[in-house]
Amino acid sequence: MEILSLISGRPGPSGFGSSSTAEQVSASVDASHLTLIITGGASGIGLETTRVLALRGARVIIGARNTKAANEAKQLILENNENAKIDVLELDLSSLKSVKAFADNFKALNLPLNILINNAGVMFCPYQQSQDGIELQFATNHLGHFYLTNLLLDKMKETAATTGIEGRIVNLSSVAHVYTYEQGIRFDKINNEDSYSDKRAYGQSKLANILHANELSRRLKEEGANITVNSVHPGLIMTDLMRHSFWLMRLLRLFTYILWKNVPQGAATSCYVAVHPDLKGVSGKYFQDCNEGPASNFATDPELAKKLWDYSHNLVNSIQHT
């Protein structure tokens, strides 16, 4: 949306804008028939998304690396909503072994799966590699979600086919996707420490989130599956995600305070895209402030999306066979 709308909170075509909260955008929704998974649903905007969608009646499964913190978050929600249906399963997105175990544990519950919100992430990390030997921001923000989504896709297709209810996948990206490396995705230098930039590596991973959503959307449309896939920019919100650049973000916020949101506003776009009836059939789009927004040239490049898909698929296979 235009900068004036962001600052003023003026609603866009959807009827919502930058000042809308997660509760406001979901107020008309009865989600009691829906089961969803959200990664990183124990803190920040993930926790608010969990709270609000549970408030609307959805059964929410939180995938969290820190299950103690996630269970504490669950108890906080239950204190104010005793009818909330929330489960916690361990999930470390930087480990493909953990991702596979999470998917297996979820399937063992014999639950349907209507919605997958790929919310978790790390931001501006000093250079480090995941357990699988992949640069941590790319591994956690993109590759783990790519693998998780593929593992759960058959369950989502089955649920959509048997219930007739449209499935939805939501990838949390960021406006930071515009600030990436010169070639967009550094396929041949994912693990290059010498030229590593914590900010550009984050932008690269957020670009990958959009490209993943777009290519999966294309594939599902081609297949005729009743599942939509979209990506969202939640806005600028001060959460634990910024712990690696806390003082830099505080300084930035001092000079750009009118552009920042609180957590309830930050969770609004995720909730809107996940459950609002107006988004039925809408797929392969990028949303900000609860309205479709412009993405970068890299983000809308279908060839780059296909290349990333093949690269990610091959990378997952190579890790599993080492």
Residue 250 is predicted with a pLDDT of: 54
**Which is it for strands 286-288 and 291-292: parallel, antiparallel or unpaired?**
antiparallel
Query: Is the per-residue pLDDT at 34 higher than 70?
Result: yes
Residue 242 is predicted with a pLDDT of: 45
What tens digit of pLDDT does each residue of 136-153 get? 999 999 999 999 999 999
Band (260; pLDDT cuts 50, 70, 90): low
Rounded CA-CA distance 287/289 in Å is 7
Residue 9 is predicted with a pLDDT of: 58
At 297, list the tokens: 């040239």
Segment 72-88 mean pLDDT: 98
Which conformational region is residue 228 in: left (phi greater than 0), alpha (psi within -120 to 50 degrees), or beta?
beta
Rounded CA-CA distance 180/299 in Å is 11
Domain that holds residue 106: 3-320
How many CB atoms are closer than 10 A to CB 103? Answer: 21
What is the count of structural domains for the chain?
Answer: 1
Task: Indicate which residues carry an active-site annotation.
Answer: 196
Q: Which residue has the higher pLDDT, 238 or 60?
A: 60
Q: Among residues 171, 114, 116, 167, which one has the least CA distance to residue 142?
A: 171
Q: What is the CATH number of the domain that holds 259?
A: 3.40.50.720
